[in-house]
């Protein structure tokens, strides 16, 4: 997982900025979807997809912390 994503999510949670977390989640989902559509040829994008999944997991954990 990217340490920077964790720090950004922590900041949004501390500010209780749900909208920023939603935008961040949508952006990661869009990037992941775009990458999946363009996959092909001799490139292995599994590592990138895994990173997007980890980022999305961290963002979802941030939402869970907002609801506490």
Where would I find the beta strands (DSSP E) of the chain? Answer: none
Number of domains in the chain: 1
Nearby residues of 4 by Cβ (< 8 Å), 6 or more positions away: none
Q: Quick check: 31 and 49 in contact, CB under 8 A?
A: no
**Structural domain harbouring 16:** 3-66
pLDDT (tens digit per residue) in 10-64: 999 999 999 999 999 999 999 999 999 888 778 889 999 999 999 999 999 999 9
pTM for the full predicted model: 0.90
């Amino acid at each position: 997982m990217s340490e920077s994503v964790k720090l950004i999510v922590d900041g949004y949670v501390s500010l209780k900025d749900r909208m920023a977390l939603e935008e961040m989640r949508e952006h990661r989902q869009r990037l992941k979807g775009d990458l999946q559509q363009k996959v092909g040829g001799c490139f292995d994008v599994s590592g990138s997809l895994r990173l997007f999944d980890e980022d999305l997991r961290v963002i979802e954990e941030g939402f869970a912390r907002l609801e506490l």
